[in-house]
Amino acid sequence: MHSCKQDALNYHRAGRNGKIAIVATKPCRTQEDLRLAYTPGVAAPCLEIARSPDLSFEYTARGNLVAVVSNGTRVLGLGNIGPGAGKPVMEGKAVLFKRFADIDVFDLEVNSEKAEDVIKFCQLLEPTVGGINLEDIRTPECFQIEDVLCQTLSIPVMHDDQHGTAIVSGAALLSALEIAGKKIADVQVVFLGAGAAGIACAKHYRQLGVDPERMLMVDANGVIYSGRTEAMTSHMEPFARNTNLRSLTEAVRGADVLVGLSAKGTVTPEMLKTMAPRPIVFALANPEPEISPEDARAARSDVIMATGRSDYPNQVNNVLGFPFVFRAALDVRARAINEAMKAAATHALASLAREKVPDSVCRAYGVRKIEFGPEYIIPKAFDPRVLVWVASAVAGAAMETGVARQTFDLDTYRERLKQLGARLMHSS
């Protein structure tokens, strides 16, 4: 552990400090370059944008620029460590945006825990960027911030801790259900954790076809049931069920799916033994899952298991979602990221998992063959096809639902994405 810590510190400090830098995209070597880049030439695009504000997407970097905004109140598994301490995570997010979708990022850490301050900051920021990725903001403030921004801004906003997890785990769910031979409308699903990710996953699974009456949500205080008054929020109320069950142990008995978004060690092997045949268990707490895959498989040889870790099969990794959702949203100049776009991303990931995996991807992961099955229910992060499948699906949904400012032929767009993916692979 010490070695890993020191390696990480050396990595972030080596060479130029941090992980990102600003790079000019136009030459500035001659007097003529200077004349065009700044005064007097820069006045021309300024006046054009003043005449028609949407031209900022044509004459500036705005159309390929996302703001990653955080106040550091819930950073990874580290809690409320503040905006400055959270900055390495936001820089990391910028690296992933660039590596997987060629999207530029300003990481912006806001020095306030007040929801209204973050909202105002983002509202004032709108002319600068093409989209906003909210990150590592605690509940319930994250819900309020996203809700207000989605209502008041005309650029796409997404809280990745909520919707990225929902999109990717939703794809894993669709695949796991197919492998287990279960219909989505019939399964009993238990969510362990009623924070941002848990509530977002429950909402998204409902959109995918899970029966709301077959959902149970459990937090540190037990089952969320109708009439419960202890530690309840307005966002939890829609998931309160008329049930006599009170504990996680009771809730998982006979359940088909358990989605853990809580903390290490909160699920026991004994709990898994009481679940339905061919149980599906997503233990997504990081860095340590609610139950280890080893313990889960020892308890249930028929379990289909996913975690948030890269050293186990079936990693539910948000990098399979947010870069490609924003790639599409920027390319169609979407006004929002709506439910149809999120569902399109989920179905695209689930469909891709069923496709033959190229040898190049297998080599990247040091294996001879990867096949759809219990240990491969979602695509690998370094599969270049994810960009093409997800971004084109999301763009199509944006155009179909009317939130796109620009429309184009999807076959042509897929070819553009393939070329981009090839360039990103060669440059990485």
Which residues are part of the catalytic machinery?
38, 93
Q: Which two tokens stand for residue 243?
A: 């049930």
Could you tell me which residues come within 8 angstroms of residue 285 by beta carbon, excluding any fewer than 6 positions away? 77, 260, 261, 262, 263, 264, 266, 308
CB 20 within 8 A of CB 105: yes
Q: Which two tokens stand for residue 266?
A: 């909160």
Could you give the residue ranges of the DSSP H alpha helices within 316-402? Answer: 322-331, 339-353, 359-364, 385-400
The one-letter amino acid code at 3 reads S
Q: Please give the Cα distance from 89 to 137 (Å, whole number).
A: 12
> For strand 304-307 and strand 157-159, is the pairing parallel, antiparallel, or unpaired?
unpaired
Q: Which two tokens stand for residue 199?
A: 């509530």
Helix (H) or strand (E) segment spanning residue 158: strand 157-159
Helix (H) or strand (E) segment spanning residue 307: strand 304-307
Q: Please give the Cα distance from 426 to 96 (Å, whole number).
A: 16
* CA angle centred on 166, ends 211 and 353, rounded to 5°: 95
Could you give the residue ranges of the DSSP H alpha helices within 279-384? Answer: 293-299, 322-331, 339-353, 359-364
CB 284 within 8 A of CB 198: no
In sequence order, the β-bridge partners of residue 159 are: 134
Tally of CA atoms within 13 A in the half-sphere of 77 that contains its CB: 11
In sequence order, the β-bridge partners of residue 66 are: 105, 131
